[in-house]
Structure 1
Amino acid sequence: MARFRSSPPNGDDAEQRKADDPPTDPAARARDYCLRLLTSRPRTRAELAQALVRREVDQEVIDQVLGRLDEVGLIDDQSFAEMWVRSRHTHQGLGRRALLEELRRKGVDAEVAAEAAQGLDRDVEEERARQLVRRKLAASAGADERVRIRRLVGMLARKGYSQGLAFQVVRAELAAEGTDVELLDELRD
Structure 2
Amino acid sequence: MAMNMHDRALRCLAMREHSRTELARKLGPLGTEDEVNAELDRLVELGLLSDARFAEAFVRTKARRFGATRLRSELAQRGVSAALIGEAIEESCGDSELARARDVYRRKFATTPADAREWAKQARFLQGRGFSTDIIRRVLKEQPGDEPA
TM-score by length of 1: 0.70
1:103 deviates by: 0.4
1:116 alignment counterpart: 88
Q: Structure 1 pair 168/64, CA: closer, same or farther in 2 (3 Å)?
A: same
Q: Answer 1 or 2: higher relative contact order, Cα 8 Å, separation at least 6.
A: 2
Q: How many residues are paired up?
A: 146
Tell me how far apart the structure 2 counterparts of residues 56 and 30 of structure 1 sit (CA, whole Å): 6
Does the 8 Å contact 1:130/1:173 carry over to 2? no
Gaps of 5+ in 2: none
TM-score by length of 2: 0.87
1:56 deviates by: 4.7
Q: Structure 1 pair 136/62, CA: closer, same or farther in 2 (3 Å)?
A: closer
Does the 8 Å contact 2:17/2:57 carry over to 1? no
SS state of the match for residue 94, structure 1?
coil
Q: Structure 2 counterpart of 1:132, which letter?
A: V
1:98 alignment counterpart: 70
RMSD of the alignment, in Å? 2.2
State which of 34, 41, 61 in structure 2 corresponds to 1:67. 41
Tell me how far apart the structure 1 counterparts of residues 19 and 108 of structure 2 sit (CA, whole Å): 34
What are the within-5 Å matches in structure 2 for residues 147-166 of structure 1? Answer: 147-166=117-136
2:60 alignment counterpart: 86
1:10 alignment counterpart: none
State which of 138, 141, 144 in structure 2 corresponds to 1:168. 138
Q: Structure 2 counterpart of 1:168, which letter?
A: R
1:132 deviates by: 2.0
Gaps of 5+ in 1: 1-20, 24-28, 177-189
1:62 deviates by: 1.1
1:183 alignment counterpart: none
Report percent identity of matched pairs: 30
Q: Structure 1 pair 174/72, CA: closer, same or farther in 2 (3 Å)?
A: same
Which has the higher Rg, Structure 1 or Structure 2?
Answer: 1
Q: Structure 1 pair 145/70, CA: closer, same or farther in 2 (3 Å)?
A: same
Q: Which runs of 4+ in 1 moved over 3 A?
A: 173-176
